[in-house]
Amino acid sequence: MMHHFIVIGNPISHSKSPAIHTAFAQSVGLNISYQRQFCPNDFDSFKAVIEAFFCGGGVGANITLPFKEMAFDICQTHGLLSHHARSAGAVNTLMLKDGKLFGDNTDGRGLVADLNAHDIDLQGKKVAILGAGGATRGAILPLLESGADIFVYNRTPDKAKQLATDFHHQISPYPLSDLSGHFDVIINATSATTTGQTLDLGSVSSDVAYDMMYGKPSAFLNHFKNAQQIDGFGMLINQAKLSFELWTAKQIDLTQENLIKSLIKIRQ
Ligand code: ATR
């Protein structure tokens, strides 16, 4: 039986999710259809797309920009939310559970899984995150669960302070202008790489530099000449892996040779 999946976004034409999930399905011998679904950027259209998909027998949906918060609102009102989705305030993975819409968020766990795949253990480590938007919010609970000591630096200090309040002061907020010293891991969760802007990184250094973006030259990564530099492609793969495993109850082995070959092609 063919199982149907979609990724909903706006824009959506460049999404690599169909290729990634199709490669996962091949690697475990499943026959799936995974399509890109464009949606007009308003709540009613988004809700209609979700309803049509799941009423029509769809199994799972990934949600990307700008709909992650809308998906959260729909699950909060009409369905169920995982604790990761609750703490992220956003949903990137939808499915039906006991006939109800269930929203999860695999982005932050995807980040931690990719760091672990690079042999980086976060227990007790000093981790700086730059930015205090949705990307940072989604990463905090998984980073806390991995035992990291989290320092959030943001251009607008009040947004970092608000995050610290929301997470019961388990993280430390700072203005971006205070960024200095040495960290075990520094993560760029600002949108600066996407918009081609530079970040003022002063004299800060780190053993590991991680940019959540990929596919564009990163002024952020270039700053950390002596660090282990990692871009966000592995985070994309790992958040997809966690969604796929939730939907299908299959385990994806990212060390499988044919799967690695497919993922390298997808990245290009
Ligand atoms: P996302 O959901 O991807 O996190 P967002 O909510 O728009 O996107 O947040 C973008 C983050 O990048 C914000 O923390 C923003 O800082 P402000 O809160 O001060 O706006 C940060 N950001 C974007 N461009 C930046 C730049 N050039 N320098 C520093 N921070 C930047």
Look up the CATH number of the domain holding residue 181: 3.40.50.720
Q: Which atom of ligand 1 is nearest to the CA of 176?
A: 29
**Cβ(159) – ligand 1 distance below 6 Å:** yes
Strand ranges of the sheet holding 126-130, from the earlier edge strand across to the other edge? 172-175, 149-154, 126-130, 182-188, 205-211, 228-230
Note if the bond before 11 is cis, omega within 30 degrees.
yes
Q: At what angle do helices 17-27 and 233-248 cross, to 10 degrees?
A: 60
**What DSSP element (H or E) covers 114?**
helix 107-117
Instruction: Write down how long the chain is.
Output: 268
Is there a single domain that holds both residue 169 and residue 246?
no
Is there a single domain that holds both residue 211 and residue 120?
yes
**Cβ(185) – ligand 1 distance below 6 Å:** no
Between CA 179 and CA 200 the distance in angstroms is 9
Is there a single domain that holds both residue 117 and residue 68?
no
Is there a single domain that holds both residue 115 and residue 196?
yes
The residue type at 61: A
Mean pLDDT by 10-residue block, N- to C-terminus, for the chain (268 residues)?
96 97 98 98 98 98 98 97 98 97 98 98 98 97 98 98 98 97 98 87 96 93 96 98 98 98 96
Among 190, 197, 198, say which to mutate for ligand 1: greatest number of ligand atoms within 8 Å of CB: 190
Surface-to-core class of residue 68, CB atoms within 10 Å of its CB (0-12 exposed, 13-18 middle, 19+ buried):
buried
Count how many domains the chain has. Answer: 2
Query: Looking at ligand 1, which residue's alpha carbon is closest to its atom 28?
Result: 199
Is there a single domain that holds both residue 155 and residue 96?
no
Is there a single domain that holds both residue 16 and residue 72?
yes
What pLDDT is recorded for position 135?
Answer: 97
Query: Looking at ligand 1, which residue's alpha carbon is closest to its atom 9?
Result: 133
Domain extent for 250: 3-105+234-267
**Cβ(92) – ligand 1 distance below 6 Å:** no
Is there a single domain that holds both residue 150 and residue 46?
no
Among 65, 191, 212, 214, say which to mutate for ligand 1: greatest number of ligand atoms within 8 Å of CB: 191
* Sign, Cα dihedral of 137, 224, 14, 33: negative
What pLDDT is recorded for position 196?
Answer: 81
Between CA 213 and CA 66 the distance in angstroms is 16
Query: Looking at ligand 1, which residue's alpha carbon is closest to its atom 5?
Result: 133
Is there a single domain that holds both residue 133 and residue 57?
no
Between CA 87 and CA 74 the distance in angstroms is 16
Is there a single domain that holds both residue 124 and residue 212?
yes
Is there a single domain that holds both residue 226 and residue 147?
yes
Is there a single domain that holds both residue 193 and residue 125?
yes
**pTM here?**
0.97
Is there a single domain that holds both residue 89 and residue 113?
no
**Cβ(155) – ligand 1 distance below 6 Å:** yes
Between CA 36 and CA 80 the distance in angstroms is 24
What pLDDT is recorded for position 197?
Answer: 86
